[in-house]
Chain A
């Protein structure tokens, strides 16, 4: 037995040394996708169906929007999932590497402000009140500091970490400046941790994507938001996000397609077309909000015309229509 062990060791070394020689890459067609963990469930659903139908292999990673763009702009992936528009520095990185991309909005997500189910005092919150709570350097510690009519209960805040696209969008929409936020809240990249935090704290408040609220309606309550003074409070739901009345916390989600791959790789083209065709059904199934049908048609045309570039100026914008995003790309 010992002799065998020694022989196995020898063989193993031999095999290990041949690893480097046999660097023949698999010639299989594989569509490589990486990026946002928020968009991940949608792309996963599409990839699953696409693979069943066409037998073309698809891999999806979730390195986050920023991590995804890093790989995308190095040409390692064909498609990048993004929960926010491409940023200035990412635009530059792509340009430097000679990578062109087609920006396609594929769904909506409604950021939801939630409180504990036992919280019976808050009926709605205005954007100004939210800003008072979340802005950088805020000293609001109790509920009655938001509104004197609320009880003197300690406020426990939960939110996504600073690397998250959700954080970027919320701070932009509420505080007026992306990434500007008070820092003395409990951050977590895992939304289930935020759900737990708010649901175990009577004075808790937090924000995350609509899907996490939908799955935890028994523990949490979503707060209707008053966008402007005098406007009606609107709660988040598939309908209010879709028709644009839930403002300013509705945001579009994107996929960025490598323009060269879209033009010259038939499997990538087929995948994106499949994506847009099946998005209304699959997006709803994974608890996100589908775009109106006309918008999917517009996005489809945009892709067909291979219009490369971004409709944003390297920054996030709040409350912008899909057709406007598309039309801004020359």
Chain B
């Protein structure tokens, strides 16, 4: 007993010494922790503050135009009465076509690659291609569309052409996000479904798609937000700048109540209208451009916000 006491007694000082050393070490490591969190925060701030400064600057420059008239007037040679009506309607219609083409194709392709396709060199090749496609500059899609849609298929400089072009542009984003969402679903879920005799389609439809819905939607919205701000491909296929009328209405009073004439109408979109106003000599137009910029950023932020909200809520509702 005394022996033990002795031992501990004689050990006391080294332990205390060690303790000090350990404490110093912890302190040093904590300092590094602290330093990194500051560097990380600064790095984050560069991005965040840049966006904030840009946005605030645009809002301040364009604040005079945040009113209903700006959204309900056609473009004009007079900056004061020039509005965004044909541009935002154009953007909305183009986005509709983009959504209706990119989403079914992208989701189907993602599902096929993830659930059905055999894992061999061919599917590897497709995978590499899809990832590469996501990195192709948007102007290339514009050139492709000019040759293929405008002249090859004779669709002209229309809303349909623009929608299909942007659809192609965001297709890889939709495919990749669909695949990622599907990959997040545990294999156990599929095995359980197969165990009770479900077919492949039943597994995909009732389980895989159901649970990955949030992730897919997020990818779709982020893709759409990107498409909204695209200018280069739309200019390449020949969007107009001055257009002071709206495309024919998609809904008519005569049967069959739907018409597709609007698909072939000429159009302009918000980024092009903004670009045009910015290149004017008259500074009053620059206010309109700033307001348009702020609106585009705001809509993009709203879309991305919705994506985050939906993802969070849908994930919350899934109980495995």
Contacts and interface: CB of A to CB of B under 8 A. Distances in A.
B104 A16 contact: yes
Given A24-B261, A60-B240, 12 more contacts: A12-B104, A22-B260, A34-B238, A47-B242, A48-B74, A48-B75, A58-B242, A59-B242, A71-B238, A191-B281, A209-B281, A287-B282
Contact of B104 (A13, A211, A287): A13
Given A9-B107, A12-B104, A48-B244, A2 B210 contact: yes
B213 A44 contact: no
Interface residues of A, number: 49
Contact of B205 (A6, A37, A43, A192): A6
Interface of A: 2, 5-6, 9, 12-13, 15-16, 18-19, 22-26, 28, 30, 32, 34, 37, 40-41, 43-45, 47-48, 51, 57-63, 71, 190-192, 209, 211-212, 214-216, 282, 285-287
Nearest to B265: A26
A212 B281 contact: yes
B92 interface: no
Contacts of A19: 97, 160, 260, 263
Contacts of B24: none
Contacts of B19: none
Contact of B279 (A192, A214, A216, A282): A192
Given A13-B104, A286-B77, A51 B245 contact: yes
Contacts of B12: none
Interface of B: 74-77, 97, 99-101, 103-104, 107, 160, 205, 209-210, 213, 217, 238-245, 248, 259-261, 263-266, 276, 278-283
A2 B75 CA distance: 41
A48 B99 CA distance: 32
Contacts, number: 105
Contacts of B107: 9
CB-based closest 10 A-B pairs: A60-B242, A22-B260, A45-B77, A215-B281, A212-B281, A13-B104, A211-B281, A12-B100, A61-B240, A44-B242
B245 A57 contact: yes
Contacts of B278: 190, 192
A45 B210 CA distance: 54
